[in-house]
Amino acid sequence: MVDLDKQKTAILVVDDEESLRLTFQMFLSREGYGPVEVASTYDDALALIDKQDFDLVVSDIVMDGASGIDLLRTIKEKGVECPVVMVTGYPNINTAAEAVRLGAFDYLAKPVKKEDLLRTARMALQQYTLRNANKALALEKDRYQKYLEAVFRSVPELIFTVDPQRNIAEFNDNTSKWLASFGVDDFSGKQIDNIGSCFDIFVPDIDTVLASQIEVPEHRIEFSPESGQSGVFRVSAVPLACDDGGFMGVVVVAHDVSRLEALEKKGMRDRLHRLIGSSRRMQTVYTLIENVGKVDTTVLINGESGTGKELVAEALHAESPRRDMPLVKVDCTAIPENLLESELFGHKKGSFTGADRDREGRILSADGGTLFLDEIGDISPLMQLRLLRFLQERTFYPVGRDRSITVDVRVVAATNADLREKVKNGSFREDLYYRLKVVDINLPPLRERDEDLDMLVHMFIGKFSSRLRKEITGISDQALQVLRDHDWPGNVRELEHVMERACVLCDTTTITSDHLPLELQEGDDVKPHMQQRTNLLEEEDEEVRIVNTLKRTFGNKAQAARILGFDRSTLYRKLKLYGIDADGLMES
């Protein structure tokens, strides 16, 4: 069965008898379909078809003037793909054959019973919806194939395939450039033995896979060309299988490790746009952002709260051809569920209580640019369905409007939830998950990138000392060690709050252990009078921060908790501890 959104299903009824027109319109409308339009003539019907898209046309064959068969023929000539059901009071073999030849979905004889009309309409619409879904999937598959081809061409490794006859089949640009450096220009389709001595290092692995159809794990091969500098290649070879399991050859991936090690000695990047860190995990993230940013495809960013998913979305936008167009951000948990649909898709004035004006919505605001949907794992099943349809068709209906809007938007989504687990337990749609996860970027937690901590600490000291107009120039070794020993469940956001607090409390040029929260310190080593003073300062500072954050988020506790680096239960506990009335803050 195919899910039908009856309220978004446009049907046209064409009949020159007013009573039949209105009866059919009433039957279909009461069934929940809409909008249901009517026309009495061929010309009126064509005018409506030119004006809007229909999901189904129900037309009488015999009418004054041009017939329903003429209308069916014109619909097909115009390339309109919706199903057409023909109705007549004079059924005969010739008209039925002509209707079927011209592509009519079905043929109903008068008098038409209500249940026959509704059953035929339902079957036609389900087939039409299924056909559109298959077409959308085919287009998505084509886009994904183009993406894979782009990645295949642009990755730094040498990648090539060899068919069972030992001929070179496919290769990326780097393979071509590498072979060209040895004077080998024409190698497409050639047998691997006839390419040149520079290629000999790959032949044993290729022959092993061709003979056994078993993967050769990654290993390192010394490479000493007749001319040029020696080096080391990291090589792997795997069998290439088609969809039915048939053997198609070998895929070889080779990486010049000597070149990689030379780059490492020169020093890796320590930042990309607003992302900071020189760890290997961050190098991988930077490379993914640069490669994927240039390809116009949907991206899913995975990572714990506070790891910097929004910064990755900004970097993807900055690396894309859409960089001069809007980047529109939507925190899906910061907007009440009953308003999220309107916030995303917009609404028509009067479509619901409080809709006192037309609103275009965030998707339309992002037209030509990038739409960032943060915490996508928390949206309701209804919003999941609406978002899936938008991703499939790139069209949407604002709340209260009957006409669709088409936009050109790249979607980047982020979540701190395990969407695969949500798919398994039925709380997240599998088809939406795979629509979002065309490419995924996994952000490492701070505890898995220890080597980045010192850099982040000094960056935050510079940021907050400037903002607070203080002359803070560094941090003591002891304080830095306390920070290194912490697990950072709140990740970079937690570190940022800790360093902001430390800069607020610091009244010298150096941050010390006394300026750090007590939960980061070992309580036994803290002097009682200093512990009491720090407790008071921490409590006062934390209470003020919570109040100010709630005001800034207009009382939205979920959003405030994320900004503060707490989980929601912690925030509720602290509201009770400090006696803060979050709702009362909005009234004051």
Which listed CATH number (3.40.50.300, 2.60.40.1120, 3.30.450.20, 3.30.470.20) goes with 155-266?
Answer: 3.30.450.20
Q: CA-CA distance, 473 to 527, in Å (whole number)?
A: 25
Q: Give 461 or 269, the one with higher predicted confidence.
A: 461
State the average pLDDT for the chain: 83
- For CATH 3.40.50.2300, list the domain ranges present in the chain: 6-134
pLDDT, one tens digit per residue, over 200-227 is 889 999 999 999 999 988 888 887 765 5
Is 310 in contact with 563 (CB distance < 8 Å)?
Answer: no
At residue 146 the predicted structure's pLDDT band, cuts being 50, 70 and 90, is low
> Do 18 and 26 contact (CB within 8 A), yes or no?
no
Domain(s) of CATH 1.10.8.60: residues in the chain: 451-587
Among the residue ranges 306-315, 409-418, 546-555, the one predicted with the least confidence is 546-555
Q: Residue 24 — very low, low, confident or very high, per pLDDT cuts 50/70/90?
A: very high
pLDDT at position 359, please?
79
Q: Using one digit for the tens of pLDDT, what is the confidence trace for 181-202?
A: 888 888 888 889 888 888 888 9
* C-alpha pair distances (Å), 136 with each of 140, 180, 393: 6, 41, 7
Does residue 536 register a pLDDT over 80? no
Instruction: Please give the CATH number for the structural domain made up of 451-587.
Output: 1.10.8.60
pLDDT at 525 over 50: no
Q: What pLDDT is recorded for position 154?
A: 56
pLDDT higher than 80, residue 75: yes
Q: Answer whether residue 429 shows pLDDT above 50.
A: yes
Phi-psi region of 443 (alpha: psi -120 to 50; beta: other; left: phi over 0): beta
- Distance in angstroms (rounded) separating the CA atoms of residues 377 and 333: 9
pLDDT class of 483 with cuts at 50, 70, 90: very high
- How far apart (Å, rounded) are the C-alpha atoms in residues 531 and 289? 45
Q: What is the pLDDT of residue 539?
A: 47
List pLDDT tens digits, range 278-294: 888 888 899 889 889 88
For residue 569, is pLDDT > 70?
no
pLDDT tier, 537 (very low <50, low <70, confident <90, very high otherwise): very low
- Stretch 567-582: mean pLDDT: 78
Residue of 235 and 101 predicted with greater confidence? 235
What mean pLDDT is predicted for residues 141-162?
69
d(CA 16, CA 63): 6
Report the share of the chain in percent with pLDDT over 70: 86
What average pLDDT does this structure show over 379-404? 84
Residue 155 has a pLDDT of 63
Write down the pLDDT at residue 11.
94
| CATH architecture, domain 6-134 | 3-Layer(aba) Sandwich (3.40)
**pLDDT band per the 50, 70, 90 thresholds, residue 61:** confident
Lowest mean pLDDT among 231-240, 262-271, 376-385: 262-271
pLDDT tens-digit series, residues 460-481? 999 999 998 998 988 988 899 8
The two beta strands, 106-109 and 84-88, are parallel
Q: Are strands 370-374 and 327-331 parallel, antiparallel or unpaired?
A: parallel
Rounded-to-integer distance, Cα 273 and Cα 277, Å: 11
The CATH class of 271-444 is: alpha beta
Residues 6+ apart with CB under 8 A from 294: 150, 319, 320, 321
Q: What integer is the mean pLDDT of 131-153?
A: 68
524 vs 334 pLDDT, higher one? 334
Residues β-bridged to residue 88: 109
Question: Please, are residues 44 and 19 in contact by the beta-carbon 8 Å criterion?
Answer: no
Higher pLDDT, 409 or 579: 409
Instruction: Give residue 280's pLDDT.
Output: 83
**CA triple 280-285-291, angle to 5 deg:** 125
CB 288 within 8 A of CB 315: no
- Please compute Rg for the chain using Cα positions: 32
Asked whether the predicted pLDDT for residue 302 surpasses 60, the reply is yes
Which pLDDT value is given to residue 533? 41
- Structure tokens given for 77: 């000539």
pLDDT of residue 164: 92
User: What's the DSSP call for residue 172?
Assistant: -
Which residues make Cβ contacts (< 8 Å) with residue 130, sequence separation at least 6? 2
Q: Which pLDDT band, with edges at 50, 70 and 90, does 535 fall under?
A: very low
Please tell me the number of Cα atoms within 13 Å of 528 on its side-chain side.
0
Q: Bigger pLDDT: 166 or 184?
A: 166
Mean pLDDT value across residues 494-503:
92
